[in-house]
A and B are shown apart, each in its own frame.
Chain A
Amino acid sequence: MSTTELPFPGLRGVPTNDEPQNRKEYTSDQEVRWCPGCGDYAVLAAVQGFLPELGLKRENIVFVSGIGCSSRFPYYLDTYGMHSIHGRAPAIATGLATAREDLSVWVVTGDGDALSIGGNHLIHALRRNVNLKILLFNNRIYGLTKGQYSPTSELGKVTKSTPMGSLDNPFNPVSLALGAEGTFVARTIDSDRKHLTSVLSAAAAHRGTALVEIYQNCPIFNDGAFDAIKDNQTRSDAIIPLVHGEQIRFGAELQYGVVRDKDTGSVFAVEVADVDESDLLVHDAHANDPTTAFALSRLTDAGVLHRAPIGIFRQVQHPTYDDLAREQVRTARGGDGLESREALAGLLGSGDTWTVA
């Protein structure tokens, strides 16, 4: 399979709607209950704005979430939705997506939901490449339970549950997803509507599991966690934009680039002036080998965030679990041409039988 056949038919099988749709149709009658200033509002607005553009039948879209502030998301969209239990949304969505080819299935999860309690389901969804779009709202804190550190909080984080500082190393969700060989792995920012929308559109068009990490500010319990990449003063030095086919360059004057260490294979940022331009890395999101994408993910600060690559790290087409599972069922059904009750009679009467007159 060539990786140049992009974009992928992520929505194949989902019925479309010829009528134009608008944001209002996608807005439920439920009052939105996040704290003022919460980054979740911006993501909701972006999603409500972008779903109508997909041109799908609204009834064929399903949002499944876990538990957390962000997981309230489905209540605010007038699609089918399920607000499930903590960490399990990818598993539930796997059943939903496998059972029905005609649904566009989205998962909304938080950093605690996806990476603590639900870590197992997340990596297995990615490994299987189920046709799901996972939006991981990363505020680097447990919001709903009022401010404990999370598996993405920086080491030494002082919170209610870690008054002397947290002791465990954080996950980098993008590295983790790439380690699980996710076929679509991206990172975007709650406040950058344009970028967020473009990444969500690419995710929707992807066939397979798409993991989109969304940096999301929690003004109540972790305010300013992403200031470096949001602040006009610092953002151009902080954001390493990843655009497929383009040289990776950043800084106000694009004075920085990324090169590969020829000995270790890892990548690092340099001043462009200090290197040969031909050594600057050109981003290839379609590379089947996730190694370079993983190396790029390591440019993310693990501690307090000062710098992070933003964009689509990897976007490759692999067979999906749900397509293959349905194919097996179709193949098996095709065979004998019997009506199902006749076939059932055949099954029940199979094996060694005897008859009593």
Chain B
Amino acid sequence: MTKQVKQLDRVIIRFAGDSGDGMQLTGDRFTQETATFGNDLSTLPNFPAEIRAPQGTLPGVSSFQVHFADHDILTPGDQPDVLVAMNPAALRANLGDLKKGGTVIVDSHDFTARNLTKAGYAENPLENDSLAEYDVQPVDLTGMTVEAVKEFGLSRKDAARAKNMFALGLLSWMYGRPTEPTITFLERRFAKAADIRDANVTAFKAGWNFGETTETFVVQYEIKPAPMRSGTYRNITGNLALAYGLIAGATQSGLPLFLGSYPITPASDILHELSKHKRFGVTTFQAEDEIAGIGAALGAAFAGSLGVTTTSGPGIALKSETIGLGVMMELPLLVIDVQRGGPSTGLPTKTEQADLLQAMFGRNGEAPVPIVAPQSPADCFDAALEAARIAITYRTPVMLLSDGYLANGSEPWAIPAVDELPTIDPSFATGPNHEVRDKDGNVTGEDFWPYLRDPETLARPWAVPGTAGLEHRIGGLEKGDGHGNISYDPANHDLMVRTRAAKVERIADTIPPLEVDDPGAETGDGARVLVLGWGSTYGPIGAAVRQVRDAGLRVAQAHLRHLNPFPKDLGDVLKRYDAVMVPEMNLGQLSMLLRAKYLVDVVGYNHVRGLPLRAAELAEAVTHLIESTSDAVDTDIETEEVVR
């Protein structure tokens, strides 16, 4: 039969099923096909917290959302256009997010009385009009899969497990995705089990053919490749990009990398990934707890390695004391916090940005730590390199704040040319740095002072064991300025506290001015409202800003890579605008820092739902702020003050 082809500029698909249904794999494959095809894309996996929640229940639902387009996009999308639901629970758990009029493809086979009850449906929604607002396509995915693969003699259960590939095949047909990458992938993945391999490939092809031949689906959609800068691309998740960035940090500084870590969601994949790359001189140490993980990393840093520890919020709580020790000993150390919902165990598989103040202040004493944050999955690579640069150059622990969304979400990444990556000079101390004088001031020799600082960066020398003549002792007790011996002198302590703070502030000398995207500014037609964010809210903020501009309003956007210290011009930027909105997935942590430092009464936009911010809602809030700001300005100068 002839099929129609319809052009679309973008589509959001969500695959949802039981955690045993292979939805992450399905989503991943669809993403790879889409990447290879050349669309821009952004993904959002969503896992249940339990590894094996009871089958068919709402807590057991796992999903994967992919947004792809013929133009550049910034988020995995607020509301799916298409929902693929492998069972009633998946339908029930996800339907609420679907766009009105959206397409629902369900495995009708799984809509049995038992499964309906488990999902909490009193009636079969496919048989009443509760789904009337949607375009519902019930397909017997399981039945057709079992039929298609029967020649391989698998048990019914094993045969049915290939239904995710049938679904993938069908969706691949609908959106004109290339099929070879998935076939190659399946052949490799199941190379050792011929029957399973063949069943999966056959189910995948059967799904495609079903789309091609059936009358149920008459429309095939076409989403043209997005124009991208020339280069070689791959699709990459934040955790993978972060692991690569750490390896690049080691390679670019010529240091061996030592990772001390304790498994925790959603950071564990960085440990897994780095463990595979010992070839780069990477040592990975799975410690007995988070404290030992950072301790070993700090020990390795003393020994001259690039010490790294990876964790999530609860792990940071345990590492605080050792971070303080690193601050005192002034050794390079990377502390990676892949934030998740908190407090306590919180929402382990969900995203949040509520560790900013913990990163900033979660230690005893005045213990400043530089903080950097990536803004998108691929940006984790650059953020890791930047964190390494700061740690090594300034001899300090550095916090990198990723989050669950960045960790598992993915996007196309223009693979950088290695010879264009910055290099980092560890400049180890090799000899004495101080003259010894007798009481008349005559030089009688030279020695090594571990706390004599570089006048520009205020960094102290990094003298590693094995260097003759530089033997010295460091530790957590207060150091005397310069010589570094224990000192309880009040004036010295005051000096050292201020010096450690000043050292971190000096980093701002090497931070570029904040890039503000304010299209009208150059022509004197700038926005009056700025939206300022940090971390993974970059995507939703960018998407919201576009929506606002599309509606004809002016709004400026800026995003912080460095949260401590801030870029030097941040205060000026803030004061240029009548109102500043700060969207965060917390209750206003960056807002608090900005208000405290710049006395600017920024407007918070805060959601802590464990999910990325929704661009459309944010756009509404921004619009509202723009409107109220201009009202205030237009009508009454005094209220402008109030608004600000």
Report A's interface with B, CB cutoff 8 A.
Answer: 15, 28, 30, 57-62, 64, 67, 74-75, 78-85, 88, 91-100, 102-103, 120-121, 124, 325-326, 328-329, 331-333, 335-336, 340-345, 347-357
A355 x B418 contact (CB < 8 A):
no
B472 x A95 contact (CB < 8 A):
no
B303 x A78 contact (CB < 8 A):
no
A83 x B474 contact (CB < 8 A):
yes
Can you list 6 residue pairs at the A/B interface with Cβ under 8 Å?
A67-B476, A80-B302, A82-B475, A91-B293, A100-B466, A347-B277
B469 x A59 contact (CB < 8 A):
yes
**Given known contacts A28-B473, A336-B279, A344-B251, is B304 in contact with A100 (CB within 8 Å)?**
yes
**Given known contacts A88-B292, A96-B300, A340-B251, is B466 in contact with A102 (CB within 8 Å)?**
yes
A355 x B231 contact (CB < 8 A):
yes
Partner of A345, one of B231, B301, B418, B474: B418
Q: Is B247 an interface residue (CB 8 A)?
A: yes
> In the complex, A62→B304 CA distance in Å?
13
Question: 7 new A-B pairs (CB below 8 Å) besides A59-B469, A350-B234, A356-B231?
Answer: A94-B292, A121-B288, A121-B291, A326-B283, A344-B247, A356-B230, A356-B232
Partner of B300, one of A99, A121, A332: A99
State the main secondary structure of chain B at its contact with A.
Answer: mixed
A85 x B325 contact (CB < 8 A):
yes
A84 x B475 contact (CB < 8 A):
yes
B295 x A344 contact (CB < 8 A):
no
**Given known contacts A80-B472, A348-B416, A348-B418, is B298 in contact with A354 (CB within 8 Å)?**
no
A325 x B473 contact (CB < 8 A):
no
> In the complex, A93→B285 CA distance in Å?
13
* Chain A residue contacts of B285, Cβ below 8 A: 94-95, 98, 325
Closest to A71 in B: B475
Q: Is B256 an interface residue (CB 8 A)?
A: yes
* Chain B residue contacts of A78, Cβ below 8 A: 471
B535 to chain A, nearest CB (A): 23
* Chain A residue contacts of B281, Cβ below 8 A: 329, 333, 340
Chain A interface: which of B32-40, B67-75, B192-200, B537-545? B32-40
B302 x A82 contact (CB < 8 A):
yes
Q: Is B221 an interface residue (CB 8 A)?
A: no
B322 x A99 contact (CB < 8 A):
no
A340 x B280 contact (CB < 8 A):
yes
Partner of B329, one of A57, A62, A82, A332: A82
* Chain B residue contacts of A92, Cβ below 8 A: 295-296, 298-299, 302
**Given known contacts A82-B302, A354-B232, is B291 in contact with A91 (CB within 8 Å)?**
yes
A343 x B279 contact (CB < 8 A):
yes
Q: Is B465 an interface residue (CB 8 A)?
A: yes
Partner of A94, one of B278, B299, B415: B299
B234 x A352 contact (CB < 8 A):
yes
Partner of A91, one of B256, B296, B329: B296
* Chain A residue contacts of B235, Cβ below 8 A: 351-352
B292 x A96 contact (CB < 8 A):
no
**Given known contacts A59-B467, A88-B291, A352-B235, is B278 in contact with A328 (CB within 8 Å)?**
yes
Q: CB within 8 Å of A: which of B264-318?
A: 277-283, 285, 287-289, 291-293, 295-305, 307
Q: Is B597 an interface residue (CB 8 A)?
A: no
* Chain B residue contacts of A74, Cβ below 8 A: 473, 475
B283 x A99 contact (CB < 8 A):
yes
Q: Is B357 an interface residue (CB 8 A)?
A: no
* Chain B residue contacts of A336, Cβ below 8 A: 279
A66 to chain B, nearest CB (A): 10
B473 x A332 contact (CB < 8 A):
no
B418 to chain A, nearest CB (A): 4
A86 to chain B, nearest CB (A): 8
Report B's interface with A, CB cutoff 8 A.
Answer: 32, 35-36, 38, 181, 228-235, 244, 247-248, 251, 256, 258, 260, 277-283, 285, 287-289, 291-293, 295-305, 307, 321-322, 324-325, 329, 415-419, 465-477, 485-486
* Chain A residue contacts of B279, Cβ below 8 A: 332-333, 335-336, 343
> In the complex, A94→B286 CA distance in Å?
11
* Chain B residue contacts of A98, Cβ below 8 A: 258, 283, 285, 296, 300
* Chain A residue contacts of B229, Cβ below 8 A: 356
> In the complex, A340→B231 CA distance in Å?
22
> In the complex, A342→B477 CA distance in Å?
43
A100 x B465 contact (CB < 8 A):
yes
Partner of A85, one of B474, B476, B485: B476
* Chain B residue contacts of A59, Cβ below 8 A: 465-471
> In the complex, A345→B251 CA distance in Å?
11
> In the complex, A352→B410 CA distance in Å?
14
B283 x A325 contact (CB < 8 A):
yes
Closest to A351 in B: B234
B466 x A88 contact (CB < 8 A):
no
A40 to chain B, nearest CB (A): 16
B245 to chain A, nearest CB (A): 10
> In the complex, A1→B280 CA distance in Å?
31
B282 x A329 contact (CB < 8 A):
yes
B248 x A96 contact (CB < 8 A):
no
Closest to A96 in B: B299
Partner of B299, one of A15, A81, A93, A325: A93
A99 x B234 contact (CB < 8 A):
no
Q: Which 9 A-B residue pairs are closest in the complex by CB-CB distance?
A: A83-B475, A95-B296, A95-B299, A91-B295, A332-B278, A91-B292, A96-B299, A92-B299, A81-B473
> In the complex, A342→B260 CA distance in Å?
26
* Chain B residue contacts of A96, Cβ below 8 A: 299-300, 302-303, 465
> In the complex, A352→B416 CA distance in Å?
15
> In the complex, A58→B472 CA distance in Å?
11
Partner of A84, one of B247, B303, B325: B325
> In the complex, A345→B415 CA distance in Å?
9
